[in-house]
A and B are shown apart, each in its own frame.
Chain A
Amino acid sequence: MIRLEDLRGLVPEAPSAEVTVWIERRWLRAERAPDGAWVLTEMDVARVRLLTELRVTLEVTEEAMPVVLSLIDQLYDARRTVRALLGALEEQPDPVRQTVLAAARARSCAERGEA
């Protein structure tokens, strides 16, 4: 568990005044330690890096952040789902894999309006 005060060493460019706002808005899912302090997992630290890149490097405004963040998270939701499906497909016998792949190709061709 990583405390907020350790964050300065891990992500020096993170705007420390803003981090608690991120937590309140649930952009960052920190949890309370028994003593009431916010603690972060390693994944949360990576999230801080993402939020810092958006807010500091790319200068995304506070008003635009919910939309940008929601879109990024939706993208990764979709990528996780696709990965899980591909992983499940990988474990299937070859004829099943070929059938599913052929059907998926036919579908994506049809959606692009190809014959």
Chain B
Amino acid sequence: MDDPYQILGVPKTASAEEIRKAYRRLAKQWHPDTNPDKPEAEARFKAISAANALLSDPEQRARFDRGEIDASGAERAPPGAYPGAGPGGGWREWAEAPQGARYQSRSYGFGGEGPGGSYEAEDFEDLLSRAFGTGARRGGPRRGADIQVALHVPFLDAVRGATRQVTLPDGRRINLTIPKGAQDGTVLRLAGQGMPGQGEGAPAGDILAVVEIEPHPLFRREGNDILLDLPVTLKEALLGAKVEVPTIEGPVTMTIPPYSSEGSRLRLRGRGIDGGHQIAVLHVVMPKGPEPALEEFLSGWTPRDGSNPRAGMHA
């Protein structure tokens, strides 16, 4: 079918009114009843009606102008998609069939300087071996797939190291050694414990246990250091004290120096992981109930250090 604008003899910018007028004039002129002596009139009249049907519908006209549909109203196919195109058929059917690999993407001529030229074809086998471990190639012995399991480890087991028994998806139970200081996301590989290989001499895959560390109510980890929030009373913070604090290896006695501020970080040397330290972050806790003696003292107290702690705070 030809360009509907040409058929009606109007420009692409024609208004709806111009199109309607052109259609009425041409329809009258080419109506088969008024042209019994012209056999081509009927085809002409049909073409005029079809052109008008397309262009008088604003939505269809817009789609035609954008090239989304052709003059017969059919969706315009993307390059290569023409079903039933005779011998050889449409490109899509071939390209999507397994033999389509004959035209696998590559750089075409010009030595690869074009934007498409540097593209390295990633073939299907590359993709598979990336997804299922190296050696998942077709033909010949195939290495078994790796089994990935999530291993939930209590905080202290990860810090101190531990042996845990885990049950695999296939029901086998195995012992896993969690190394001292294991971190979130550490992968423990059990070589040869994965899916069996296929074919003669094919090695089995591995078990990959991904460590997920459960949080601890007291301790946090910062590299090889262990952080602990340590509440102290107002009196302990001001006068200093010896307090018992938990560490990953059990409780130890720690000295709080006098005049320790909120948020001070006190270090327990060597009490972390592998030469790391434990760091106690002090949190000064105010007395819960009324303390008349303290109130009375503070009312009459003029600090020697009269500096303003908010000095320099300008937004």
Which B residues touch A50, using CB under 8 A?
79-80, 91
Instruction: Establish whether residues A81 and B108, one from each chain, have CB atoms under 8 Å apart when the complex forms.
Output: no
Known contacts A50-B79, A72-B79; A80/B85 CB under 8 A: no
| Residues A69 and B88 in contact in the complex (CB < 8 Å), given A58-B79, A80-B124 | no
A73 x B106 contact (CB < 8 A):
yes
Secondary structure at the B interface, as helix, strand, loop or mixed, is loop
Residue interface bits B71-104, CB-to-A below 8 A is 1, else 0 = 0000000011010011111111111111111111
A-chain residues with CB within 8 Å of residue B80 when the two chains form the complex: 50, 53, 72, 76
Bound CA span A111–B89, Å? 37
Is A54 located at the chain interface by the 8 A CB criterion? yes
Contacts of B98 in A (CB 8 A): 80, 84
The answer to whether A43 touches B99, judged by C-beta atoms less than 8 angstroms apart, is: yes
A residues neighboring B (CB under 8 Å): 10-11, 25-27, 29, 42-50, 53-54, 58, 65-74, 76-77, 79-81, 83-84
Q: Which residues of B contact A (CB under 8 A)?
A: 79-80, 82, 85-110, 114-117, 119, 121-124, 127
Contacts A25-B108, A73-B105 supplied; 7 other A-B pairs, CB < 8 Å: A26-B106, A27-B108, A46-B91, A66-B117, A70-B107, A76-B92, A84-B98
For this complex, 16 residue pairs linking A to B, each with C-beta atoms less than 8 Å apart, are: A27-B108, A42-B88, A44-B88, A46-B89, A65-B108, A67-B115, A69-B116, A70-B105, A70-B108, A72-B79, A74-B105, A76-B95, A77-B100, A77-B122, A79-B96, A84-B98
